[in-house]
Amino acid sequence: MDICKRLGENVRRYRKEKGWSQEAFAHEADIHRTYISDIERGARNPTITIIEKLARPLGVTASQLLE
Amino acid sequence: MDICKRLGENVRRYRKEKGWSQEAFAHEADIHRTYISDIERGARNPTITIIEKLARPLGVTASQLLE
DNA sequence: ATGTGACTGTTAGTCCGTC
DNA sequence: AGACGGACTAACAGTCACA
């Protein structure tokens, strides 16, 4: 399983647990909406600083997003 | 604690557990030795595909490198 | 509310070295 | 053995219009 896809699935799952749209989450994480879309589809290969920006509003660790 | 520094410390610890020099590890991971040096010093912001390339020869998961 | 192609400036990542 | 610099190319960060 590709690590980018795994990250995407994790982000999407945690985001939905929060009841957020991509747009709302993008605002919380201070990341562009379309970038979130790309991440969730595994279409990007982000850096670890992006992983951390995603993790914080979701209330999880960067490590958890890669599990 | 900066996530880049945390990654660096984890990589260094796991590498030493294997008894590898940076150069030997670089060869195992198929990553340039100077890049390994940068990573361990927390001077780089790598992508998740690099995290995975680092994790495999160390016998750990990408997730563990960010813990 | 989300997926996607395209674009530009910036940086990730490689490779040459020296200390 | 490892830190660190310079220079280079490939790829990412960040954004937009449109579907």
Mean of pLDDT values over A44-61? 98
**Contact status, residue A45 vs residue B4, Cβ threshold 8 Å:** no
**Mean pLDDT score across all residues of chain B:** 97
In tens, the pLDDT along A14-52 reads 999 999 999 999 999 999 999 999 999 999 999 999 999
- What's the CA gap between A43 and B47, in Å, rounded? 13
Touching A: B residues 17-56, CB under 8 Å: 45-49, 51-52
Structure tokens at A19: 């009841």
Instruction: Test A66 with B61 for CB contact under 8 angstroms.
Output: yes
What is the maximum span of chain B, computed from C-alpha positions, in angstroms?
29
* Strand D positions within 7 A of protein Cβ atoms: 1-6, 11-17
pTM score, two decimals? 0.95
Residue B28 has pLDDT above 80, yes or no: yes
Q: Where are the domains of chain B?
A: 3-60
| pLDDT of B32 strictly over 90 | yes
B8-22 average pLDDT score: 98
pLDDT over 80 at A1, yes or no: no
What's the pLDDT score for residue B2?
93
Which residue is nearest to the C1' sugar atom of D5, using CA? B34
What is the CATH number that goes with domain B3-60?
1.10.260.40
Q: What is the dihedral of CA B50, B55, B57, B59, to 10 degrees?
A: -170
* pLDDT the model gives residue B1: 66
- The angle that helices A3-17 and A33-40 make with each other, rounded to 10 degrees, is 120
